[in-house]
Structure 1
């Protein structure tokens, strides 16, 4: 490796370190500010489950330190979500030097759009999916059983669902980027529609509870958002893919 290449590589590593420090610092700052209300944050997160439980029933904590660590984990998750614009901006700022000028102008719309869609996915999960899933589970459970969910297992379930729905709602951004940067043409994405639909239901079956309602509520929005991404990609435009360039050169030669 030549000296110039080595210096460039080290410079990229230093910049990556600085971007990571800023992103992590933003999350820690929000986390510290929210810590005095960690218990209230967890109570808010637990509302969908509490509404589904029989009256007078509470969740339980089976570990000695669980009542402390679970609210802390929830608060850290909320801090990450609130600091997401800063995290996404730092990621974009790191890769921006390798992009064209008109692509750099996409930074603000992409960061804002990604943050909004991720939060929208979490809100959809919190206000609609949780209520329907917990109600379904409560009605399906035998009457001789009094449910008393463990708060740590509930947190694990909630974080998995939030991540699944948050990433699902990022599908339009992924489709736009694939088309814009010429990774896959819009026409090929349209041809892949049947595979996307099947893949959406497969992913939903893996990451959601084993009930049809939650699977449909993840798979159907994923499919709809894919279609939205295709529609937006039509107006955003993009680089020509290699196949398009070859086709154009063949026509020119002919």
Structure 2
């Protein structure tokens, strides 16, 4: 059902366009977090769906995260020239990941939150860290401290460019790799390690090719149809580095 969230995204854009200058940045940030409540609800109350894929869970997960991220962007856009917001963001950029790590360690060591038969899966209720991740992303976008500078390096920005293509292909490519390993009977040892390294490197390589040869040309073509600059100024500068 993930496709349904993508299908309705153009309708969300119309709402975002109307809201971007009509609401205060604080209201936009509040809406971003309110959008996550359906995801938090199903993530906390469900005790038989650790991956949140059953029923409408995939649609709810994608739709709420998309919407929260979009409203977070609008809030950041309005706060980007606010000195006080930047000062607060500098602190949050360091504090929030430490808080996330602490919560993850605590939840991971509570026996009652673990899934039976899935020792390596995230514990029940792990969705409580998602609002903190949204907060962290917003703080990183507003701050210019060490975490933001590190994530702004050319290599990591390029990783951000290819991340959507990586998201689209990684499950398929991993499935093919796993099936191939089962066919040839390799399930451990040095060859398995080498094959795993190949899997990681090839997945990133395929994602880069898909971004460069499919995703980016298609996006530039669509931008040209509405009279916009094919490559946004920020991306053109980054690609020229």
TM-score, structure 1 length as denominator?
Answer: 0.28
Greater relative contact order (Cα 8 A, min sep 6): structure 1 or 2? 1
Structure label with greater radius of gyration: 1
